[in-house]
Each structure stands twice: as C-alpha cells, then as structure tokens.
Amino acid sequence: MNDKPQVIRDTDDDARRQARILLRGARFAAIGVIDPESGFPFVSRVLLGMDRDGAAVILVSNLSAHTTALIADPRASLLTGEPGKGDPLAHPRLTLQCTAETVERDSDAHQRLRARFLARHPKAQLYIDFPDFRFFRLRPERASLNGGFGRAYHLSSTDFLIPKFNDDLFGSEEASLRELGGTHPGLATHIAQNIHGAPKGEWRLTAVDSHGLDIVFKDLLIRHEFVTPITDIEHLLLELPKSVYAVP
C-alpha cells in the first residue's frame, strides 16, 4: 500500500539508503496501532530507538495504550521524516509497517536495548528503569518511501535488516565505540560537521552497526549510512573516506 497517487518507481540503492536514513535518523515517530476497544487506528508520538539488526524500538509503560494495543494486535506502523519549512508534502517521509515483538525485562535483549536507547535519549534515564516500563521491538515488514512529489518507492523487510558484524565487534558494541572514541577522538565531530554540515558541537558516537553510525549532540541525531556495509572496525575506518554522499 502506497500513500501517493503517483506511479511507483523501481526501488534502487539510493531509495533504500534514503529510506534507511529516514527511519534510523529519526529521534521520534508517529506510531499507529489498532485500538482494541473500537478497532479504530490510534496514532500517537513515541521516542524511537533502534536495535542492531535494524528493528525499531519503543519504550512504553505497561499502563499505556500502546502496550495494551500491541499486545492485543502486534501490527503497527511508523511515520518518520519531519517536515521543515515550506510545503509539508515536499519533504521526504517513510511509512513503515512493522510487527511488535515483546522484550522481557532484564533479558539480554532488554539490557542491549536499554543501553542503545539511553545513548540516543539520555533524558529517558528519568523513567527507563520504572518497573512498569518495557521495550517493544518493531520488526520491519514493508515500507513506502515518499521522497517528495513524484518520488514514491516500495521497500521490503530485507531493505531494513542489518547483517551481523563479525563476532568480536558484534559481541561488544560498547567496546567498539570506546575503541573508536579512543583511537579517533574527533571522528564523530568530523563526520557530523564536515560530511553532514551539522552545527558545531561535541558530537559523540552512540551506535555502530555494519550499515552505519549514530552520531548525537544534544537533541540532534545524525544517522551516517555507509555506502557499502562493513564487516569490522578496520573496515569501518577504511570505508569512511569513501562513505561521503549527499545528505538528503
């Protein structure tokens, strides 16, 4: 299902990269769930995190409507890509359809998602450990990219899945980030300011996976997608100079 009347274009690597950046670079999203009482859709706003495999992540209270709805029916949709000034329909946006997966409290997955979520949203520290809070993973099923007027594409789950690193890197993302930060202290700021034209600031790496890097400064988030996936940290450093591409 696409959200624009125009003819759908053939999905190419540029469209895939733009779609990934729209999802992975979003600090928040509109989430649609199905209201179990009425069957109506219910759209609200959530902070967005990402798991290492490309699933989106939300942090919710057991008392919230999201949780009730997603336990009753795990089908959900996310809209990301915020409009700036001017015509809101001229700005690229992504509609993702996804299936919610519960994450048990205190499981390994919970600990991993907690660390990643806090790195991206430090203020969530205030409530992330409340006993009634939990994560859902939102596994991508399919998506529609609207890259602005006349540019619509369909995407599949495989366009959003992130292959694993080798075990060393995949085994400890925190250690990889520490290593990168230690050996290349200016890397995050360099990528943010020089490649993405971001404002000056003390940018820091908050996530690394084989598809790219998350770089954060205060309330700003940049998703730096590599042109080709990497397989280890050395590969990452070799890849970086080639990974410059136009920011959408």
Q: Which of 45, 108, 200, 246 binds its own copies (CB under 8 A)?
A: 45
Per-residue binding letters, 209-238, with its own copies (x by CB under 8 A): ----------x-------------------
CB of 90 to its own copies, least distance (A): 9
Question: Which token pair is 151?
Answer: 């540019």
Stretch that binds its own copies, among 61-69, 201-209, 227-235, 239-247 (CB under 8 A): 61-69
Question: Which token pair is 113?
Answer: 């998602």
State yes or no: residue 87 binds its own copies (CB under 8 A): yes
Q: Which of 15, 19, 21, 34 binds its own copies (CB under 8 A)?
A: 34
Q: Which of 44, 107, 183, 228 binds its own copies (CB under 8 A)?
A: 44
Strand partners, 140: 98
State yes or no: residue 61 binds its own copies (CB under 8 A): yes
State yes or no: residue 131 binds its own copies (CB under 8 A): no
Q: How far is CA 170 from the centre of its chain?
A: 18
Q: Which of 2, 102, 193, 231 binds its own copies (CB under 8 A)?
A: 2
State yes or no: residue 71 binds its own copies (CB under 8 A): no
Count of positions on this chain that bind its own copies (CB under 8 A):
54
Q: Which of residues 159-188 bind its own copies (CB under 8 A)?
A: none
Stretch that binds its own copies, among 13-21, 24-32, 156-164, 177-185 (CB under 8 A): 24-32
State yes or no: residue 150 binds its own copies (CB under 8 A): no
State yes or no: residue 83 binds its own copies (CB under 8 A): yes
d(Cα 49, Cα 58) in Å, to the nearest integer?
A: 6
User: How is the beta sheet containing 220-225 ordered, strand by strand?
Assistant: 204-209, 212-217, 220-225
Q: Which residues bind its own copies (CB under 8 A)?
A: 1-5, 27-28, 30-45, 47, 60-66, 68-69, 75-79, 82-83, 85-89, 93, 95, 97, 123, 132, 141, 144, 146, 219
